[in-house]
Structure 1
């Protein structure tokens, strides 16, 4: 794995994979709504977008609670100037 995801801790890679799957499936499902009744399609789209938002929220929560990511962020932060 290359790029930023390759450098991410395992806990975030796992959640990022779920986000990618949820978004891919969500986009596929949204495309299939074109042929449906508009009233049903609107309700279904709201549900699909909600699922996609939940996946992103889980990734966000994993990132804030991941000790390995917090250590990486602290190590990458510029040093604080001495007073």
Structure 2
């Protein structure tokens, strides 16, 4: 498995795809990240066409085990960010 693309590499690739400089590409990436963060933290969802859907899901209170001690602990309800991958992306990976 290869290493994940870093933000610097992503900005450089985005700038090349857009035909612009890295400063504009970095601003575009930061704007998209900010929009997704605001929407999902507010309880909404964001669909990135061809990539997937990012959303927030509530998890109920539950009993979990501390792996270090084996002790069972009650964990409060919380929220978790999930992503459902779009079929075109799944198909392109499995092609």
| TM-score bracket for the superposition, by shorter chain length | 0.3 to 0.5
- Structure number with higher strand proportion: 2
- Structure number with higher helix proportion: 1
Higher RCO structure (Cα 8 Å, ≥6 apart): 1
TM norm structure 1: 0.34
TM norm structure 2: 0.30
